[in-house]
Structure 1
Amino acid sequence: MASVCEICGKSSKTGFNVSHSNKKTKRKWNPNIQKVRAIVDGSKKRVNICTRCLKSDKVTRAL
């Protein structure tokens, strides 16, 4: 499953784990993407949406 929100475009971000001795190793932060049935253009469709968009009612769920 693609980890990109189809509403806001949020995707994974990269950075470093930094230890106490300041040694850096690469890491990744993934967004909380859920596969949800939603009403898009008047029809029910399965979309990948981040939980922030779900919580702020940017999309209406189809039950």
Structure 2
Amino acid sequence: MSRRCAISGKGPLVGNNVSHAKNRTKRRFLPNLRTVRVTLEDGTTRKLKISAKELRTLKKNS
């Protein structure tokens, strides 16, 4: 499964690890994903992978 938010579409970013000697090696910044059960409008529930920020937004709006 992909590391992507089902609502916002956030995915991994690419950057560098930078050592004290300024040596640079590639690294990935992964999104903070949570698996949550969401009740849809038709009454069914589904498991979705959503980012922690979107989870806060859902709780705020409900």
**TM-score category (smaller protein):** 0.7 to 0.9
- Larger helix proportion of the pair: 2
Instruction: Provide the secondary structure at the position in 1 that maps to 2:10.
Output: coil
- State the Cα deviation string for residues 26-55 of structure 1 (Å, max 9, x = none): 111111111111023422111111110000
Q: CA RMSD in A?
A: 1.9
Aligned to 1:47: 48
Output the TM-score relative to the length of structure 2: 0.81
Mean CA deviation greater in 49-58 or 6-15: 49-58
Output the TM-score relative to the length of structure 1: 0.80
Runs of 4+ with >6 A deviation:
none
Q: How many residues align?
A: 60
Point out where structure 1 has 5 or more consecutive residues left out of the alignment. none
Point out where structure 2 has 5 or more consecutive residues left out of the alignment. none
The share of aligned pairs that are identical, in percent, is: 33
